[in-house]
Chains A and B, each alone.
Chain A
Amino acid sequence: MSADTSPAIELRGASKTFRTPSGGLHTAVRGLDLTVGRGEFVAVVGPTGCGKSTTLTLVSGLEEPTEGEVLVAGAPVAGVGDKVGFVFQQDATFPWRTVLSNVMAGPRFRGVPKAEAKQKAREWLARVGLTAFEDRYPHQLSGGQRKRVALAATFVNDPEILLMDEPFSALDVQTRALMSDELLELWEGTGASVVFVTHDLEESIALADKVVVMTAGPATVKHIFDIDLPRPRKVESVRLEPRFIEIYREIWESLGEEVRITRERGAAHVA
């Protein structure tokens, strides 16, 4: 079987064009080639609005590519599969469910018996440190706690592929660093392949094995940088290492140019 040797995610010449409300066409992603190995943590950085999130929706099966191919574990993506977990930028916890019920949702949707789902959910709640909050509703939690619920709800499904769309961008800086460390800890136990979209270069270097720099929209891959920082990492300390700063400078040279292009376009739109 090729499934054993094939990479976790493969995009081949994938393009996605949307119809805008005014009737025009908007190309979010064009001719995208990207390979994510098994167990690899890949961060995708690019200027805001360049189509990074679209890449994730293509891999998840929520959207189909207009052109090209998207393969997960060697097989073309057809609809939402059961291998994928997705952590969204905005809050996507179900507000009418308690914390425990939110984490149980995934297994229950997939037909796991209630008692077993509850037990698995409790395990993951313990791992994200929310055991004492299982009877609360999301509105009674802080932003960081809600994010932890979202992480537990995603990990409880044992995803082979973990897609994260700027998951921590709404959190304050300290909470974000804590959550990044927690994410690394949770992930290291699972062996899942991760695609982590962010506009924060520091965050991407601190977390990833590979950083993919996207061009200004329509997005395509500009450069791929290997991050050779040793693991396990602690986000707050790794960013002070000389090697980190070296990598940062190198990647920023590539990313900064795309950011500048995007900004100039924005200015042209205004004028």
Chain B
Amino acid sequence: MSPEVISASAPVDTSKQPGRAESRARAARRRKAVVLVARVLLLVAVLGLWEALSRAKVIDPFNFSMPSKVWDQIYTWITHGTALGSLGEQIWVTLQEALLGWVIGVAAGVVFGIALGRIAFLADVLGPYIKVLNSIPRIVLAPIFVIWFGLGPSSKIASAVVLVFFPVFFNAFQGAREVDRNLVSNARILGASDRRVTLQVVIPSATSWIFTSLHVSFGFALIGAIVGEYIGATKGVGLLVAQSQGTFNAAGVYAAMVILAVVALVAEGLLTFAERRIFRWKASDSGH
């Protein structure tokens, strides 16, 4: 800590560190740029190949379409609207159904998961039934929901809910089960009631489990809404897919897929942002 020590070590630092640190930083930046360029090249190559093969009629352009036509389709939808109305409205309808289904499915999954994780009696009674329900391929429920709830949004919300519920439920259940015994004992010693233990120990420690499932499950909610719309609806991106298919418009199907991918990516980005805010208490290296 004496000044001599500092001045003695300082020249060593200035002579070596900055040069090395700078070259290291430069190398890192270069690597980033190379990765980015390679990514873009790959995309251009795949799309270009598709376009070229399709134009050269190596693959049937009617069935496989081509990127330029897909882009034209998206452009037409944006500027002139779709046969069902404006494109924004279709996306909004689908997004609303997916979001509502997701919220309901997540809420139910978390509540049931935590409840069964905490109350052994409930888990023992309901466990087998939940396993049976989980083994049903839930996508086949979508037609039934259309019969039950009609062509409106509720049938799509229902199929989104059943898709979302199970992964969230199982993660919340696991999260509640794997709570550190020490933390629970500690909370009880400090004076926490059972309710407090659940709210202030079990749920916070299960959040990282629950969040893992949220990422996957929003995708599931979109799938539920789209499949529901595809089977029978009056509006939505799923119906766009069905209509494009009905008129042999391959570009339309691809265009709808691109739109869905963008929607899913934006939702994923928002979730990651929320997660970062919520998990400030975690060591940054264990977060990813």
Contact = CB atoms under 8 A, between A and B. Distances in A.
Contacts of B182: 88, 90-92
Contacts of B29: none
B188 to A, nearest CB: 5
A94 B188 contact: no
Given A109-B196, A137-B280, A139-B281, A94 B183 contact: yes
A92 B281 contact: no
B282 interface: yes
B246 interface: no
A95 B282 contact: yes
A53 to B, nearest CB: 11
A90 B186 CA distance: 11
Interface in A148-189: 153-154, 157
Interface of A: 60, 62, 80, 82, 84-86, 88, 90-92, 94-98, 105-106, 109-110, 137-139, 153-154, 157
B46 to A, nearest CB: 43
B190 A109 contact: yes
Contact of B189 (A62, A90, A94, A139): A62
Contact of B185 (A92, A98, A109): A92
A97 to B, nearest CB: 7
Interface in B183-206: 183, 185-193, 196, 200-201, 204-205
B283 interface: yes
Contacts of A98: 281
Interface in B237-288: 280-283
Interface string B1-25: 0000000000000000000000000
Interface string B86-98: 0000000000000
Given A86-B186, A94-B201, A106 B281 contact: no
Of listed A95, A97, A137, A154, residue having the most chain B CB within 10 A: A95
B282 A86 contact: no
A94 B204 contact: yes
Top 9 nearest A-B pairs (CB, nearest first) are A92-B186, A106-B190, A109-B191, A110-B191, A109-B192, A86-B189, A96-B281, A139-B283, A137-B281
A137 B281 CA distance: 6
Given A62-B185, A88-B185, A95 B190 contact: no
A86 B185 contact: yes
Contacts of B187: 94, 105, 109
Given A106-B190, A109-B190, A157-B191, A95 B281 contact: yes
A96 B189 CA distance: 18
Contacts of B185: 62, 86, 88, 92
Contacts of A86: 185-186, 189
Contacts of B280: 137
A85 B189 contact: yes
A138 B180 CA distance: 15
A269 B185 CA distance: 32
12 contacts: A62-B185, A80-B189, A80-B191, A85-B189, A86-B185, A94-B183, A94-B187, A95-B282, A98-B281, A105-B187, A105-B190, A138-B281
- Which residue of A60, A80, A94, A137 has the most chain B CB atoms within 10 A of its CB atom? A94
Contacts of B283: 139
A105 B204 CA distance: 14
A105 B190 CA distance: 7
Contact of A96 (B191, B192, B204): B204
A91 B185 CA distance: 12
B219 to A, nearest CB: 27
Contacts of A110: 190-191
